[in-house]
Structure 1
């Protein structure tokens, strides 16, 4: 697998616009909190490191990854935001529950983005086991929270450019 040796959060060859003019919401699932807290720390730090003002970053928790869709919808309905980052972690178990949750969350996040014409970023780990989640939440494969934050910055900039 190509990702076995790669840090997926390396943006050294990418131009990242300043996050200073934008307001971001971050919705974090409480389920698998060890992982989602690490994702949040990565996202928050990446936003700040790229110029976002801490007062323009709004963090809210929801019970689990399934509720990320509703959380993003509530944020966009009630706050003036340029992008919302959804952070969660669903780890494969013994039942098909994993498939239903992952599919519902991916579709729900897409639908919220379309509903509001705002970037809503899928920062949800969907892993086979705990170790894969750890590897992608600040471990050897980087931090998916970092990636979600950079995506949010780039998409907010694109929206501003095209929407004037």
Structure 2
């Protein structure tokens, strides 16, 4: 599993009160993206963030452009989707496009973008990462905490 060497972000949650957070989630695999978004909102609350804008888009390919719009008004952004590998090359194209797009948003705007897009071979792998009860990983929470932590680091570097 991907999270085998991941840091435990819950031990030292950043205190991010006063930051503006943007969350964007795809509608594909809605039960899973609803969970990722709910866990992102829980992470924001745990970090003291009250100014949260949450929006939905059709699919994962649309995440970067909406993340860019959120970055224009937020201190941190986190994006959530689920892409399950099928039998065609479409999976690779979508994953590359989304990953490159979200990275570009962060680098072009200077606003951290938490990458919570699950790129998996099976829906079970996505469930294992979605922060459901019994899931070994919680990418909605983790991606949000990572984005908030990076935003605080950037703010400290600018001061």
Is TM > 0.5 for Structure 1 vs Structure 2?
Answer: yes
Q: Does residue 40 of structure 1 match 2:33? A: no
Q: Distance in 1 between matches of 2:102 and 2:47?
A: 24
Q: Identify if the C-alpha distance between structure 1 residues 2 and 39 changes in structure 2 by more than 3 Å, giving closer, same or farther.
A: closer
Are the counterparts in 1 of residues 24 and 57 from structure 2 also a CA contact under 8 Å? yes
Question: Which runs of at least 4 in structure 1 moved beyond 6 Å after TM superposition?
Answer: none
How big is each residue's C-alpha offset from its partner over 1:24-83, in whole Å with a ceiling of 9 and x where there is no partner? 000111111111111001110011012111xx0000111000100011112223x2x101
Mapped to 1, the partners of 2:2 and 2:42 lie a distance apart of: 27
Aligned residue pair count? 157
Higher relative contact order (CA 8 A, sep 6+): 1
Pairwise CA distance, 1:16: 2.4
1:103 is the counterpart of 2:100: no
8 A Cα contact 1:9 1:144, kept in partner: no
Secondary structure of the structure 1 residue equivalent to 2:131 = strand
CA RMSD in angstroms, aligned pairs only: 1.8
Residue 153 of structure 1 and its aligned partner are, at CA, apart by 1.5
Gaps of 5+ in 1: none
Task: Decide whether the 8 Å contact of 2:18 with 2:49 is kept in 1.
Answer: yes
Is it true that 1:162 corresponds to 2:157 in the alignment?
yes
- In structure 2, list runs of 5 or more residues that go unmatched: none
State the TM-score, normalizing by the size of structure 2: 0.91
Distance 1:87 1:9, change over 3 A: farther
